[in-house]
Amino acid sequence: MGQQIVNGLFLGSIYALFALGYTLVFGVLDILNLAHQAVFMLCAYVALLLVLHLHLPMFVAFPISVGVGGLVGLAVERLAFRPLRGRSDSNVTGLISSIALATILEALALQLFGPDVERFPFGIVPDRSLHLGNAVVSELQLVIIGIALSMLAALTFVLKRTALGRRIRAVAESPVAARILGVDVDRVIAASFFVSSALGAAAGVLFGLAFNSVSPDMGRTVELKGLAVIILGGMGSMPGAAIAGFALGLLEVFTVAKLGSSYRDAVAFGVLFLVLVIRPRGLLGAAALREA
């Protein structure tokens, strides 16, 4: 029982971390960036290459890959979204062009790294674990849960208390009004993409470390779960995404424990469906939607 709670919180923190970046861009642009999972995957490879070939320790490789993730985010925005901005149908075309970009990045990874699953070398992170009652928690799991929670706190702080946060919220409210008030809308959007993709990159590296596997298709499973999480949490809501991430993680784990693993996705997406029917704006949606 205790172990399953740990499993659920851990899985949930990965979902939350992935979904935070996802929902940030959605809150600002009203556009789903479906290339998010490709950034997630690509940056796991970046960290892997840094560790394998430059022999960097993980605490150096991690921030570098997160930075690379941010830069890739800028490129994604430039290539897939900016050229389409201002068109009347830019929501749909942006969505589609981000799918195209995700496919290109995945194909690139397939060419460069091959279809095989790779893993980080053994001992790259300390292999210590804690015993809480009859549950085992590894140090890495605690660090990941910690990173997810502190990223959430930092992001909330940036949005509520800093100048950049105010601009992001202004653009989310109305790009036109923000522009009239002297906000450089393009820059703000680029900045949100940078932050969003950096978060996705962090999630990718931690995922690769936690589950001992990095592969070109690793973003696919998380992508669907991430979508479910941001819908469940209320599109565009940061705390909603975090709560929904942990809730989905726990829900999945307990479905496996009580009903069997074959029912896992059925229950998870069944609950998502119910939430959409009963409370269409999600757990913390609507009011929070425009706050970014």
Query: Which residues contact another protein by CB under 8 A?
Result: 3-4, 7-8, 10-11, 116-117, 119, 122, 129, 136, 138, 207, 211-213, 215, 217-218, 220-221, 252-253, 256-257, 260-262, 264-265
Phi/psi of residue 101, nearest 5 degrees: -65, -40
Task: Give the nearer residue to another protein in terms of CB position, either 31 or 44.
Answer: 44
Give the 3-state secondary structure of residue 131: strand
Q: How far apart are CA 252 and CA 248, in angstroms?
A: 6
Beta carbon of residue 118, minimum distance to another protein (angstroms, whole number)? 9
Helix (H, G, I), strand (E, B) or coil at 129: strand
User: Shortest approach of another protein to residue 3 CB, angstroms?
Assistant: 5
Q: How many Cβ atoms are within 10 Å of 252's Cβ, its own excluded?
A: 22
Q: How far is the CB of 104 from another protein (least distance, A)?
A: 20
Nearer to another protein, 178 or 203 (CB): 203
Minimum gap (Å) between residue 117 Cβ and another protein: 4
Shortest reach from residue 261's CB to another protein, in Å? 5
Q: Least distance from C-beta 114 to another protein, angstroms?
A: 9
Q: What is the DSSP letter of 132?
A: E
Is residue 224 within 8 Å of 19, Cβ to Cβ? no
Nearer to another protein, 3 or 90 (CB): 3
Report the residue number, 17 or 84, with the smaller CB distance to another protein.
Answer: 17
Q: Which is nearer to another protein, 162 or 261 (CB)?
A: 261
Helix 2-29 and helix 218-233, axial crossing angle in degrees, nearest 10: 80
* Closer residue to another protein, CB minimum distance, 184 or 217: 217
Q: How far apart are CA 81 and CA 67, in angstroms?
A: 20
Three-state SS at 135: strand
Rg of the chain on CA atoms, in Å: 19
Q: How far is the CB of 276 from another protein (least distance, A)?
A: 23
Q: Which is nearer to another protein, 117 or 154 (CB)?
A: 117
Contacts of 284 (CB under 8 A, 6+ apart): 233, 234, 237, 239, 240, 243
Angle at 66 between CA 209 and CA 102, to 5 degrees: 85
